Structure 1
Amino acid sequence: MSRQPSAVMGKSQPGLFNPVEFSARLKAERQRTGLNQKDFGQIAGVGLQTQSRYETSETQPNAEYLAALAQAGVDILYLLTGQRSEGPRLSRETSDLVTELEQLPKHMREAALTVVKALRKSAEPSEPGPTMHGGQQDYRVEEHR
């Protein structure tokens, strides 16, 4: 007795992967990021035509593609199941920054981290000092006659 496939490509069955629904969610997630197909595909290492085929369910991506999108902050759980992930997600700007940093050699990433930490520290508020409007100190210049 031979077993027949229980699902036809594109037909939905409870609990099974549906490529048409996946493709629609992939397109929606790309649009959420504000990227066009070419730029979104570049994040995951594929070209425009391949990205387009993924979004029209002509073909399905591999795990390497999905892993690259996950590193860029794309909600992979949503792509696969339609359920949003819990917890923080990276903004597009942060995702772009991470993508650029990952392209650098290790010693340059370490240097960039040092610079970012120094910038953050310099942006922290310091001890309050005298102000012109707080009445703590008079900043008027004395006139010399």
Structure 2
Amino acid sequence: MSTVKIVSLVTPDQWREAYPVMKHLRTHLDEDAFLTLVEQAQENDHYQLAALYYEEEVVAVIGYMPMVTLYNGRFIWVCDLVTKPEVRSQGFGEQLLSHVEQWAKEQGFNKISLSSGLQRVDAHRFYEKKMDYRKVSYVFLKDL
């Protein structure tokens, strides 16, 4: 029987174990930069990182944090969600996002928001059709 578990990752060793999966989404980060950014985000922004283990192996990772804006009020921002390419479409991303939705409700949040790269058409279909998210805006970025 297959075992699936979702674990909050709170130590550098756990973050390091999740890095090979996160690397599929955040290709610009080497392991040291990833570890440094996770540490800073946890300390400064209450960033949470969780992994879905399938048969004792990390196969999907989600990063999220509480935020407050005038637009959304108090909400959860999903910063990162990625599943290893070879095991996509098996429900792991759905389980992780549902886990965060449940956590958010338990913490008194009533909204979750995220952005997704324009090229990630399959991800958009997943968010809209499978997870019932709505497109409400574009995100703009300017490098300085």
**TM-score (norm. length: structure 2):** 0.22
Which protein is bigger by CA-based radius of gyration? 1
Relative contact order higher in (CA < 8 Å, ≥ 6 apart): 2
Q: Higher strand proportion, which one? A: 2
**TM-score (norm. length: structure 1):** 0.22
Q: Higher helix proportion, which one? A: 1
